[in-house]
Structure 1
Amino acid sequence: MKVLIPNAAKPGNLGDMAILNVLLARLRSRKNTIMIHCFNPEEQKKEMLSKPCLYYWAAFQTRSNIHRLTRTLILAIGLLMPERFEKILPRDLQLILSDYKTADQIVLQGGGYFRSKKGLRQQINAVMNAIFILFAKKYRKPVTIRPMSFGPFSNTYTEWLCGTLISLADTIYIRDGVSYDVIAKYIPAARLMRAPDDALSLKPVKVKKHSQRTLGFTIREWVNIKDREIFLSRFADFIHRTAEDQRCSIIQPIIQADLPEYGEGDRLITARLVKLLEGKGLRITRQRCPKTVNQALASYGKLSYLIGMRMHSCIFAHVQGIPFTAIAYEHKHSLLKTTKNQVKSLAALGTKV
């Protein structure tokens, strides 16, 4: 059977890559022929053969706003256009769409991409993640969405629109209870199923622990600018207290996502937190930036304890048997409560999102 993954993760976000790796392993175990469309396909081709996904083709392959608008309009026309007229579409777009036509099934990678903060770009991003479902339905293909979160959204209209578009899928797996309750307003329960995040199926790797007890941390840009300094200060205090409680003499920063061009870069916020920690006299080692999922598992496996704001950093730690405290900024973190580790909200650090 031919299976198309139309929204494969871009290299640089290790959580998304972990989800993709597990999905690929499952599909290959069933002897499926797999076609992959992804963000940043030039980089992804180092790991696996792929084409650009529709969203990347429209909005990121060329960075000019005029080109983005033109390609988005072409994509909309292609969606509404009868198949027999598609020969007038750009050749590279035709090649992408040919995989939709030949696939027996469309399987969307899971994750937390159906959400939005304030701002027009955030609303467009949330809706554009449903474009894969619309084209799959144009070609009358069955659609499965692997375990995902739904929301939070900055307004009810975007929530309604995304919920309505997702309802076109045939089978939808939801990875946390809050998301399930929200999306159940738009989709019949018969097509909704609860399932854990795919990355929880990763296998641990063998590593040698650091000779001294080491506390690792991950952090991401998420808090409003006006609250950022308070958040960083309290995050630093929390790391300091936890290091003392866990008898950790070394602090290890870990970069979980390194994609600043997509708003997914952790380096700058990590560097600011490191300065605060150094001001407290803590011993900080050079930050680690794993490039592969196995390297990430090894990095977390060497720790004695983790404070993770990146949800999948906590999943990596869990897979490796490392205790952690998750700093939750969305309801998707509720799925981590099943690991019997701590989950603290941003509110617990005195911060508003």
Structure 2
Amino acid sequence: MQKREVPMMRVVQKGGLWVTLDNRRLAVYKMARHSGKCRDVKVNLVQLSDVEGELRKKSDSRVEGLSVTVRGTKRTVHADGRVTEGPQLSDGQLQHRADMGGHWTQEQLQAIGEGIRDFEAVVKQVLGPSAKLVRAGSFMKGTDIAGESDIDVMVFGAGPITEQQWNLIVSGIKSRGYVIDSVNPRCIHVTVNKCLVTIEFDVVANHRQGFPPNKEPENPFRNNREAARAVRNIKLDFQESGEKGFSGNDIEQAVLNGQKTLQQPGLGKLIDAAKAALKSERAQQLKRPRTAAHENDASAGTTDFNTPIGEGSFRKVYKGQYTQGIRAGQAKVSKVFKDGKEAYEDQFFDQGYSPSR
């Protein structure tokens, strides 16, 4: 069957929103788009006054149309085109799921606390008593998944950190019996195998420049538990479905934006809206024409900082791989300033690199 054989959906504007009167057709098109069978469809715009009675009968959605439940079945078509079987979870069930997903055991929390205290002792020993570590990332925000998310801690208030000091921090952590997986100019990745899970720590300094006094990492989820629970639910959904390519930051921003645009969010509605926004943005990225600008839309990657593949007058070049975003799995390079180098002149941007072979 071709799209032209299906009667066009009727769409009407109401309250500043575009609403369809043909929900089943909308569900079919969402499923087709999700499977890559179609992108855009033509619609028939109608006047509200002509269909007001019919629209009133069909306006029974409790989620502002973000999902369509097919009558007579247990099938629900979500805004991003996914199809789920069985009854939808209530907001209370979603809340419980998120809380359980972020539940570290008491033993695990104790191991995390011990690690943070040990790392901070090393940082103070190397950088002085005014230096400290602060929680950061999803662990600070309460959007983490227990046993899966890294524990991010940031070096705070220490000012610029030299390469020698950074190496001393690395050796100090090793001397306390911790296993260091990798080190780069801004992050020390440490693993602790305890309590049946691998706890991964990222000891981070912002390009080894530290953080200015009185400017600790912000937490937009501190008094916003609904948003934090929405993020956890989306992470759990993607984990269960095996879907990759969305960073934790991508998910967090989609949820926060969804809260701003939805009139009465509710947890289930917020989750569906954020997922739809993520998928829509991904689709738009794939449709954009490529330019010479740096628009690779990749949000995370790994880099081998042990062996530079080239260097210029100001920076060294390292090879790695994108792990998230639409270029996941592809090669990337990272360019890092050499210690003591600062560049404010045009000549810095004109000088290239001499890759080693």
What TM-score results when the alignment is normalised by the length of structure 2? Answer: 0.19
Instruction: Between the two structures, name the one with larger relative contact order (CA 8 Å, sep ≥ 6).
Output: 1
Larger Rg: 2
The structure that is strand-richer by fraction is 2
> Quick check: which one's helix share is greater?
1
